[in-house]
Amino acid sequence: MTSRRVLLTGAAGFIGSHVSTALQDAGHEVVAVDALLPSAHGADADIPDGVRHIDVRDHEAITRLLNGIDVVCHQAAVVGAGVDASDAPTYASHNDFGTAVLLAAMYETRCTRMVLASSMVVYGVGRYRNRRGEDVEPAPRRRTDLDAGVFDHVDPDTGEPLEWALVDEDAPLRPRSFYAAGKVAQENYALAWSLATGGSVTALRYHNVYGDGMPRDTPYSGVAAMFRSSLDAGEPPRVFEDGRQTRDFVHVRDVAAANIAALDAELPEFAAFNVCSGQPITVGEVATTLARSCGGPEPVVTGKYRPGDVRHIVADPRGAERVLGFRARIRPHDGLTAFAHAPLRNARSAGSPHV
Domains and CATH numbers, the chain: 5-126+167-346 (3.40.50.720)
- Which pLDDT tens digit goes with each residue over 41-79? 665 666 788 999 999 999 999 999 999 999 999 999 988
- Which pLDDT tens digit goes with each residue over 290-336? 999 999 999 999 999 987 899 999 999 999 999 999 999 999 999 99
DSSP 268-332: -SEEEEEE--S--EEHHHHHHHHHHHTT-PPPEE-----TT--S---B--HHHHHHT-----S-H
SS3 of 9, please? strand
Q: Are 321 and 273 in contact (CB under 8 A)?
A: no
- Which pLDDT tens digit goes with each residue over 87-141? 888 889 999 999 999 999 999 999 999 999 999 999 999 999 999 999 998 888 9
For 333, other C-beta atoms within 10 Å of its C-beta total 15
Q: What is the mean pLDDT of residues 17-31?
A: 97
Radius of gyration of the chain measured on its C-alpha atoms:
20
- Which pLDDT tens digit goes with each residue over 214-224? 988 665 568 99
- How many residues can be counted in the chain? 355
**What is the rounded distance in angstroms from the CA atom of residue 209 to the CA atom of residue 247?**
11
What percentage of the chain has pLDDT greater than the value 90? Answer: 80
Q: What is the mean pLDDT of residues 157-172?
A: 93
In our burial notation (b when 16+ CB lie closer than 10 A, e otherwise), range 199-232 reads: bbbbbbbbbbbbbbebbbbbebbbbbbbbbbbbe
**What is the rounded distance in angstroms from the CA atom of residue 28 to the CA atom of residue 6?**
7
User: What distances in angstroms separate CA 57 from CA 76, 101, 167, 208, 340, one per listed residue?
Assistant: 11, 6, 33, 27, 36
